Amino acid sequence: PQVKAFVTQDIPLYHNLEMKHLPGADPELVLLNLRYEELERIPLSDMTREEINQLVQELGFYRKETPDAPVPEEFQFAPARSLPILLPPQAPTANGKTPPKRDKEEHPDL
């Protein structure tokens, strides 16, 4: 019932969040990159409506006041983020440590 309420009442308020009904499948959030390649699947069955709303907002989806409300220009492609600029490998710093590497779990093109 929690997921169904999210699907029917909340999804229409989110920009770039789309529902695809697959009969018999457990509900899950499938995150795609700009090329529609799958990045991650998040099961939703055990989550409350509030937890799902919090999750999609933390992921960067823009929530409108009403389903037909305009979306500000800066959120048109949300939650997509620009691709990281590729910099040449960095040499160790003065203290001999190499700068931290980006976490593999981050999805910059989400």
pLDDT tens column, 52-85: 999 999 999 999 999 999 999 999 988 876 555 5
pLDDT value of position 21: 87
Q: Is the peptide bond before 43 cis (omega within 30 degrees of 0)?
A: no
- Long-range CB contacts for residues 27-30, cutoff 8 Å, separation at least 24: 27/3, 29/55, 29/56
Angle CA 9–12–13, to nearest 5 = 95
**pTM, full prediction:** 0.69
Which H or E run contains 2? Answer: helix 2-5
Tell me what percent of the residues of the chain surpass a pLDDT of 70: 73
- The full set of domain ranges for the chain reads 2-75
* Per-residue pLDDT band at 107 (split at 50, 70, 90): low
Q: Which two tokens stand for residue 37?
A: 């390649």
Residue-wise pLDDT for 83-100, tens only, equals: 555 555 555 556 565 555
Fold of 2-75: Glutaredoxin (3.40.30)
pLDDT value of position 84: 53
Closest CA to 26 of 6, 40, 46: 46
